[in-house]
Chains A and B, each alone.
Chain A
């Protein structure tokens, strides 16, 4: 069973997203902040098949978390979530990182789930 980590500071989003992924057959781990996610990586010693990272987080943001994961765990399968795509800085950073991203509100059945299935089955993009 594929493992997906979701990092978002909105409990509602974490819950809904988690429900969707679990119903689609994934094992789900969740964290409310970048620091919590780092702790999860260290404590469980597991590497997820993909990590969905919200960009605006309390403390370190999603971009910084992606950098830490890459540096400390050589983990690069991150997919960004954002409610701030309209902001120039956020949009430019997303484009520069050349990583997949989804704009909130998420369209689960039409966009997110089909993409994840393809992403994981193809052995990461």
Chain B
């Protein structure tokens, strides 16, 4: 095969394969950015939606409690105090006694719960829990029948400090075995003098487990109060993030924004930041519930856009397989092309050679025929065998002439040569009759 043809053929194959590879690589890079960003944006939307939901749930939890304590205050003078507290508690407990609220009580000016206090030891009908339910619940919450803090003086103090104050949500307070917070409404006489406060006490761990945790599957979540006390953290990454957030001084700023948002009638403030943690760089999204609590979701930036990356990897694999198949098909085609090219080159060379042979034979025949005709013409009278020999020579010349014409028609592609195994007159080949397109006979 012509070396140049071979080189050109394979160069073309390599070029086409490279171009295809470039197109696929370009698509891959473009999709890499696009998919990752798209997946990231989708992920952020979901995280933000979930945070908004948690923010609202905390807000509802606070204001349900505040509204109930305020309502209780209004009825304190006309109802039995213990019955009032029990009735309030029935709104929060399940039939088995399970409850987010640990207890409701009226606190005196001495900071101590009054005898009408009600712990979560009743069911949703207001009936005392049976010994079995009580024993079961006390396995996890041994403080169940006595959840009270040593003193609620901080509640009284807050309402005394601010006579206009209508409610209180405390920061997280360490109680035996758990963190709690207290919501309260002031109990004042007609002159506005403080007589005490109605309080509800909630365990933040229980609130997290019942309300927030179901939505934290697959994310790192933390919850903190305004003083930086960590109420919940789903994993070490969340814990590290919360500590870093508190240590960075961002907490007071977030709470200030939360207060401003609350004054504008919103649930709270929100934002995000990048944290450098021991586990790597992390993206933090946070929401405050007014200026009381902050909830946040944190995740390693390396894990962001993971779904897009997986899709991208699949595309990359498909692209690679496509490229290999394309290259294989291109290689096979190039081989066939080169083989055909080789045959065409052979045919072209044969055509040229046939033309040369034809030229030479025709000229030689001209000479032989000229001599033959001359001899016949000059031969006086009947010369017997010589005369017939010259006639035979002329027949032979015409036969050669016919063969030359066949070669010429073959070289012009006017006819095909068919092998038919015939052992006959002159050749085992014959011209294919279907391809006769004129020419000379």
Q: Are A83 and B363 within 8 A (Cβ)?
A: yes
Q: Are A109 and B377 within 8 A (Cβ)?
A: yes
Nearest-neighbor residue (CB-CB) of B394 within chain A: A107
Of residues 359 to 373 in B, which have CB atoms within 8 Å of A's CB atoms? 359, 362-371, 373
Of residues 12 to 33 in A, which have CB atoms within 8 Å of B's CB atoms? 12-13, 15-17, 19-20, 23
Within the complex, the shortest CB–CB distance from A44 to chain B, in Å, comes to 26
Within the complex, the shortest CB–CB distance from A19 to chain B, in Å, comes to 7
Q: Are A105 and B373 within 8 A (Cβ)?
A: no
State the CA gap A108–B374 with chains docked (Å). 9
Nearest-neighbor residue (CB-CB) of B368 within chain A: A105
**Residue B256 interfacial (CB < 8 Å):** no
**Residue A87 interfacial (CB < 8 Å):** yes
Q: Are B362 and A108 within 8 A (Cβ)?
A: no
Q: Are A108 and B370 within 8 A (Cβ)?
A: yes
Nearest-neighbor residue (CB-CB) of A83 within chain B: B362
Q: Are B371 and A16 within 8 A (Cβ)?
A: yes
Q: Are B409 and A86 within 8 A (Cβ)?
A: yes
Contacting residue for B369 out of A15, A19, A107, CB 8 A: A107
**Residue A10 interfacial (CB < 8 Å):** yes
Chain A interface, number of residues (Cβ within 8 angstroms) = 23
**Residue A84 interfacial (CB < 8 Å):** yes
Q: Are A104 and B362 within 8 A (Cβ)?
A: yes
With A83-B359, A87-B355 as contacts: A16 and B440 at CB distance below 8 Å: no
Q: Are B440 and A104 within 8 A (Cβ)?
A: no
State the CA gap A15–B363 with chains docked (Å). 12
**Residue B412 interfacial (CB < 8 Å):** yes
Nearest-neighbor residue (CB-CB) of B401 within chain A: A105
Contacting residue for B405 out of A56, A86, A107, CB 8 A: A86
Contacting residue for B355 out of A13, A84, A103, CB 8 A: A84
**Residue B358 interfacial (CB < 8 Å):** yes
Q: Are A19 and B363 within 8 A (Cβ)?
A: no
**Residue A85 interfacial (CB < 8 Å):** yes
Within the complex, the shortest CB–CB distance from A72 to chain B, in Å, comes to 28
State the CA gap A10–B359 with chains docked (Å). 11
Offer 20 A-B interface pairs, CB within 8 angstroms, sorted by A: A10-B366, A12-B367, A13-B363, A15-B367, A16-B366, A16-B371, A20-B374, A83-B358, A83-B362, A84-B355, A87-B355, A88-B412, A104-B362, A105-B364, A105-B369, A105-B397, A106-B366, A108-B370, A108-B374, A109-B373
Name B residues whose Cβ lies closer than 8 Å to a Cβ of A: 355, 358-359, 362-371, 373-374, 376-377, 397, 401, 405, 408-409, 412, 439-440
